[in-house]
Every structure is written in structure tokens, then in C-alpha cells.
């Protein structure tokens, strides 16, 4: 399994854990309120269900399975490139051809930085 597939798997497990904690908490509360007739037992079970809902809402799964990005530099450069794309579209809509050309050059430089950062774990980039 490649590293990117592993990261996607951990992210989906984390998300599923958060969602399932909330759903299980709600189910516990509903079953307890509808089925149990003893005086104190439902109270404790409802409290446990409420804690599970809170754990899901507070993203406990994210804390248990922390995010461990490997290619930090590449990620930040890609995010910068996306910001450039947004600026490009704004200037293109405003028909500002000189700014569009400047952004084209900046985007090519960003792609060159992405190529040099690809495959380097922990690398950082200086975005200018």
C-alpha cells in the first residue's frame, strides 16, 4: 500500500470513527429511554450515550488518530498554487491581461517548486 493510500485510509477511518461515535451515542440514548424501566439505570446509560455524542462532536477520532502529513512542503506549495488559480480567474474576469500574464509566470514558478518538492518528506518551501 502506498503512503498516499495509507493517509487516505487513516483519514476515512478517523471520519468514520467520529460519525459512528455520534450515531452509537444517539442509539444508546433512544434504546435506553424506550426500553428500560428501572429508575437509575437509564440515567447512567443516557449519560454514557451523551458522552459518546460529545466525543463524536469533538472529533475524538481525530485526536486518537492524529494527522501526520509527510509531504508538508509540497502540500503548502499546492495550496499556494490554488490561491494563484483563484487570483488568475479574478483577473481574467476583469480582463486584466497584464496581471494574467504575471500570474502565468508565477504559476510556472510554482509548478517548478512543486516538481522539486515532490517526494521530499518534511521539506518546506519559501513562497514569494
Residue 123 located in a structural domain: no
Based on the structure, what is the number of domains in the chain? 2
Given 44, 64, 84, the domain boundary residue is 64
Residue 106 located in a structural domain: yes
Residue 103 has pLDDT above 90, yes or no: yes
Q: Rounded distance, CA 114 to CA 70, Å?
A: 15
pLDDT digits (tens, 9 = 90+) for 15-67: 777 778 778 887 877 777 777 666 667 777 777 777 777 776 666 666 666 66
Residue 127 located in a structural domain: no
Give the 3-state DSSP-derived string for the chain, with helices as H, strands as E and coil as C. CCHHHHHHHHHHHHHHHHHHHHHHHHHHHHHHHHHCCCCCHHHHHHHHHHHHHHHHHCCHHHHHCCCCCCCHHHHHHHHHHHHHHHHHHHHHHCCCHHHHHHHHHHHHHHHHHHHHHCCCCCCCCCCC
Residue 10 located in a structural domain: yes
**What global pTM score does this model have?**
0.48
Greater pLDDT, 112 or 47: 112
Residue 88 located in a structural domain: yes
- Judged on CB neighbours under 10 Å (0-12, 13-18, 19+), 110 is buried
Residues 107, 87: one domain?
A: yes
Residue 128 located in a structural domain: no
Give the end-to-end CA distance of the chain in Å, rounded to a whole number.
35
Given 23, 39, 64, the domain boundary residue is 64
Q: What is the pLDDT of residue 86?
A: 96
Q: What is the pLDDT of residue 52?
A: 77
Q: Rounded distance, CA 38 to CA 25, Å?
A: 20
Residue 103 located in a structural domain: yes
Q: What is the pLDDT of residue 11?
A: 64
> What range does the domain containing 109 cover?
72-117
Amino acid at each position: 500500500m502506498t503512503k498516499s493510500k495509507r493517509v487516505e485510509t487513516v483519514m476515512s477511518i478517523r471520519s468514520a470513527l467520529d460519525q459512528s461515535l455520534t450515531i452509537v451515542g444517539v442509539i444508546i440514548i433512544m434504546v435506553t429511554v424506550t426500553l428500560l424501566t428501572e429508575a437509575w439505570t437509564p440515567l447512567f446509560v443516557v449519560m454514557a450515550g451523551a458522552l459518546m455524542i460529545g466525543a463524536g462532536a469533538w472529533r475524538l477520532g481525530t485526536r486518537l488518530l492524529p494527522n501526520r502529513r509527510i509531504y508538508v512542503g509540497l502540500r503548502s506549495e499546492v495550496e499556494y498554487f490554488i490561491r494563484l488559480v483563484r487570483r488568475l480567474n479574478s483577473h481574467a474576469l476583469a480582463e486584466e491581461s497584464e496581471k494574467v500574464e504575471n500570474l502565468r509566470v508565477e504559476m510556472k514558478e510554482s509548478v517548478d517548486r512543486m516538481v522539486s518538492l515532490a517526494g521530499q518528506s518534511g521539506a518546506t518551501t519559501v513562497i514569494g
